Amino acid sequence: MLRAALPFWRSLSLAPLVALAASYGGWWLAAVPIYGWIVMSVLDRIWGLDEENPDPNGEHDLFWHSLVTWVWLPIQIVLIFGSIYATTLGHLAGWEQWVLMMSLGVVTGTVGINFAHELIHQKNRWELWMCEWLLISTLYGHFKSEHLLVHHRYIGTPRDPVTAKYNEGFYRYFPRVLVQCVRSAWIAEAALLARKGLGPLAPANPFWRYVGGGLAFMGLAYGIAGWVGVGLFLIQAFHAILQLELVNYIEHYGLTRKHLGDGKYEHVKPRHSWNAAHRITNYLLINLQRHSDHHYKPDRRFPLLQTYSEEDAPQLPYGYPLMTLFALVPPVFRRLMNPRVRAWRKRYYPEISDWTPYKHGTNPLPR
């Protein structure tokens, strides 16, 4: 129903803030970070946690919930190339153009890639098509392959580049995943093609779309504003990717699945992702923070995702906006999260005394 869906439409409220920043520059350039990180976190504090769960097996009309993810692709394309065009009008100084595209990248990463993540798990082709083009507009098309074929399968194991290791700071994590995720996505797609008797360079490999689409978008940026336009497009893409990987970093930091021997691991459970029940930021992020249930039941659309108590899933102390800020200061993040990881180990795996192999990302010896 529309009324139930409306709180989740606040994600779209970031779009006019980008438009105002592109039109007027100046203090409007601070609107996106202030709104996204400070205002949302304050509202989280005021409205608290949302611990109610919808019946995932009941009858639900999710049209208006889904529509918010469907309308974002054209909005994002207009925001990206409209902002690049705005830089040619002469009213923005060079530093304002840079900051504008940084703020835009926050939006295309926080909203665009997040919506793509929701669409990734749907079965119909047109939603998957929208997912791909949202990702390609941030030069991160391979995320679709990596997320479906690698991350969900190998979460919490050494084969998942996205699972941040215990004590691994973000500035070590970020360059590592930039390389390893492309590589793991390519290997996974090549393996799929090989099972069909095709080589890795076959036209069916989606990397052709990922790379070709990215080049087409950069060509459009060049047509609007020359090489400056290409540079501005790249700034947007970099900051979108940065936002995504900050979220990936905090979602599984230090959490590992128990090794059962012979390279086998226990099944994925809610305990293998950090959960956050903060009401307002879950509206903003279409329940992405109910990440424990997403990995447990990845085919659920976002309105039906469940939240958990600490008995079943580890809890983040704050919503994603504040947690990603803390991740940018590794000593602060470790001080906040390492005690929680150690408590998680004692709660769920008291029988494991030596966590060194897990820490270094190797297969522990069977016990």
Closest C-alpha among 39, 1, 2 to residue 17: 39
The parts of the chain modelled with pLDDT lower than 50 are 360, 362-367
Position 217 in a domain: yes
């903060």: which residue's tokens? 278
Gap between the Cα atoms of 13 and 324, Å rounded? 20
DSSP state, 113? I
Is residue 45 a contact partner of residue 278, using CB atoms and an 8 Å limit? Answer: no
- Is 183 part of a structural domain of the chain? yes
Would residue 244 count as lying in a domain?
yes
Residue 359: what pLDDT? 62
Domain count, the chain: 1
pLDDT digits (tens, 9 = 90+) for 12-65: 999 999 999 999 999 999 999 999 999 999 999 999 999 999 998 888 889 999
Is 76 within the bounds of a domain?
yes
Q: Which residues contact 183 (CB under 8 A, 6 or more apart)?
A: none
Q: In this structure, what token pair is assigned to residue 56?
A: 């995932």
Q: Burial of 360 by CB count in 10 Å (0-12 exposed, 13-18 middle, 19+ buried)?
A: exposed
Task: Confirm whether 364 is domain-assigned.
Answer: no
Per-residue pLDDT at 315: 97
Q: Report the run of H or E that residue 260 belongs to, with start and end.
A: strand 259-261
Residue 58 resides in a domain: yes
pLDDT at 363: 47
Give the chain's length: 367
Residues 6+ apart with CB under 8 A from 279: 44, 47, 48, 49, 50
Examine residue 367 and state whether it is found in any structural domain, yes or no: no
pLDDT of residue 288: 96
Q: Residue 366: inside a domain, yes or no?
A: no
Rounded Cα distance between 361 and 216, Å, is: 38
The rounded radius of gyration (Å) of the Cα atoms in the chain is 21
- Predicted pLDDT of residue 117: 96
List the one residue out of 141, 121, 35, 61 whose CA is nearest residue 301: 121
Q: What is the pLDDT of residues 276-331, one digit of tens each?
A: 999 999 999 999 999 999 999 998 999 999 999 989 999 999 999 999 999 999 99
Task: Give the pLDDT score at 364.
Answer: 46
- The per-residue pLDDT for 165 is 95
CA–CA gap between residue 277 and residue 51 (Å, rounded)? 6
Closest to 79 in 3D by CA, of 160, 11, 166? 11
Chain-wide mean pLDDT for the chain? 94
Domain that residue 215 falls in: 2-359
Q: Is 51 exposed, middle or buried (0-12, 13-18, 19+ CB in 10 A)?
A: exposed
